[in-house]
Amino acid sequence: MEEIKLAKGFKPALAGKPDQSVIHLPDPETVGVSVMDMPYIRPKILVKENDPVKTGTPLFCDKRNQRIQYVSPATGIVSQIIFGERRHLKEIVIRLKGKNECIQFETLSPDTVDKVQKATLIRLLQEGGLWPCFRQFPFKDTADPDLEPAMIIVSMNGNDPFSPHPAAVLEHESRAFEFGIRILHQLSPRIVISSRQSSLDRLNGFKNHITHNVPDVYPAWDPGVVLYKLKTAIKENSSWCISAEHLALIGNFLLTGTYPVKRVFTVTRSNDQKPHIIARQGSPVKLLAGSFPDKSLITTGRFNGRPVDLDSHMGFFETTLNIIPDNPKEELFGFITPGISKPSASRTFLSSFLKTRTQQDCNLHGEERACVNCGYCAKICPVDLDPSFIMKAVLSDDIEDALSFGLLDCCRCGLCSYACPSKIELTHLLSNGINAYYKDKQ
């Protein structure tokens, strides 16, 4: 196992780490298939309200490649098709009804899987709704099935510092995970499996598959950071990535021929320690979040997730809910308090030195101001970018300049926005630049 070193990034001492125990939630009344965590998809809806669906029935496909389907994670009735601005599909909601019935897809045998044709594999995964598990750099868009990626990066850890522990995700899934790895070898000549150093203790059964370990510094385990550290040739810029959980789902699906619906979630709150939760894919946010103070922000990643409301459902790629209290009250002379429990990326508060567990809230402690060239964003960026330079290029519509400063290496981790004392939404601005370049290429 090789070690990947990271000189930058952030190691927050946050309160609210989930407990390692696991609870199972009963089936919810509704599940949702959201497109809100799939930024580039152009969905074509294949069902209408009140249609009956089984587990595995296609709900929508991607107009850019209509063979790539997204399927129902439950048996029931399509109860709602929710649109956002300009009639963009947001979510399809299924009301569970009757006994769970699954569409039966083709299976693959462990004896012959190493000889199966790549085209067959791709067809099975597209029909079964699991092809979108593969994301392609640099945009992290759905992988192009016609490309042979130079590398596939499997990440054992999720996007948040408190994402589900891989040991909980892969419990009872070692056969499916190993089968998934054999599938990857049909798709790419190089497979990289990376894990946080701190997760290795509980991954004994998987250690011989893990090729790289990364330090416990956010976001060292992000596949974009791993790619940045490993790539040596231009063709590697269009490598693919997949999470360990999705890889096990693929293994499960190809072994059984049924769409796997079980997912592992974590819910974090500063003053609480909740167990890992096993529930159905697309479970309601309300069901997972439980009760909490009215005025709170719920996100699917504290640095880089999307804000969700209680009536929505978890997305295909989302496994964490952070409940962050809203705290609009300004503290009088707050900047001269020692700040033992205040998080800080710039060592402003005593918590940075004492390493005390800090509690996040939504208070920005000030308004957006002009960039003061302090350099904090560059000091923290895990892929050695200077986000302030790139931001200025993006704001002046000079995408060529932004690209030359490394825009496409940005893994949208959110750290630069978090560290900026001028409260500039750098990640959002850089993300706009990446999306503008993506549109330009179409």
Interacting residue ranges for ligand SF4, rule: CB under 6 A: 371-377, 381-383, 385, 387-388, 410-416, 419-422, 424, 426-427, 430
In the complex, what is the shortest distance from the CB of residue 422 to ligand SF4, in angstroms, rounded to a whole number?
A: 4
In the complex, what is the shortest distance from the CB of residue 434 to ligand SF4, in angstroms, rounded to a whole number?
A: 9
365: left (phi over 0), alpha (psi -120 to 50) or beta: left
Task: Report the residue number, 190 or 229, with the smaller CB distance to ligand SF4.
Answer: 229
83: part of which helix (H) or strand (E)?
strand 76-83
What is the Cα–Cα distance from 7 to 258, expressed in whole angstroms?
Answer: 44
What is the Cα–Cα distance from 438 to 442, expressed in whole angstroms?
Answer: 7
Task: Report the residue number, 122 or 227, with the smaller CB distance to ligand SF4.
Answer: 227
Task: Report the residue number, 7 or 119, with the smaller CB distance to ligand SF4.
Answer: 7
In the complex, what is the shortest distance from the CB of residue 53 to ligand SF4, in angstroms, rounded to a whole number?
A: 38
Cα diameter, the chain: 69
Given a contact cutoff of 8 angstroms between Cβ atoms, the answer to whether 247 and 254 are in contact is no
In the complex, what is the shortest distance from the CB of residue 103 to ligand SF4, in angstroms, rounded to a whole number?
A: 39
Task: Report the residue number, 25 or 372, with the smaller CB distance to ligand SF4.
Answer: 372
Task: Report the residue number, 33 or 429, with the smaller CB distance to ligand SF4.
Answer: 429
Residues in the chain: 442
Task: Report the residue number, 80 or 346, with the smaller CB distance to ligand SF4.
Answer: 346
What is the Cα–Cα distance from 50 to 69, expressed in whole angstroms?
Answer: 20
Asked if omega into 219 is within 30° of 0 (cis), the reply is yes
Task: Report the residue number, 257 or 421, with the smaller CB distance to ligand SF4.
Answer: 421
In the complex, what is the shortest distance from the CB of residue 137 to ligand SF4, in angstroms, rounded to a whole number?
A: 13
What is the Cα–Cα distance from 105 to 125, expressed in whole angstroms?
Answer: 10
53: part of which helix (H) or strand (E)?
strand 52-53
In the complex, what is the shortest distance from the CB of residue 3 to ligand SF4, in angstroms, rounded to a whole number?
A: 21
Task: Report the residue number, 249 or 381, with the smaller CB distance to ligand SF4.
Answer: 381
In the complex, what is the shortest distance from the CB of residue 404 to ligand SF4, in angstroms, rounded to a whole number?
A: 15
Task: Report the residue number, 58 or 421, with the smaller CB distance to ligand SF4.
Answer: 421
Token pair for residue 250? 């693929």
In the complex, what is the shortest distance from the CB of residue 327 to ligand SF4, in angstroms, rounded to a whole number?
A: 22
Task: Report the residue number, 147 or 403, with the smaller CB distance to ligand SF4.
Answer: 403
In the complex, what is the shortest distance from the CB of residue 160 to ligand SF4, in angstroms, rounded to a whole number?
A: 14
What is the Cα–Cα distance from 159 to 156, expressed in whole angstroms?
Answer: 10
In the complex, what is the shortest distance from the CB of residue 424 to ligand SF4, in angstroms, rounded to a whole number?
A: 5
Task: Report the residue number, 354 or 371, with the smaller CB distance to ligand SF4.
Answer: 371
Task: Report the residue number, 318 or 409, with the smaller CB distance to ligand SF4.
Answer: 409
In the complex, what is the shortest distance from the CB of residue 376 to ligand SF4, in angstroms, rounded to a whole number?
A: 4
What is the Cα–Cα distance from 408 to 387, expressed in whole angstroms?
Answer: 12
In the complex, what is the shortest distance from the CB of residue 399 to ligand SF4, in angstroms, rounded to a whole number?
A: 15
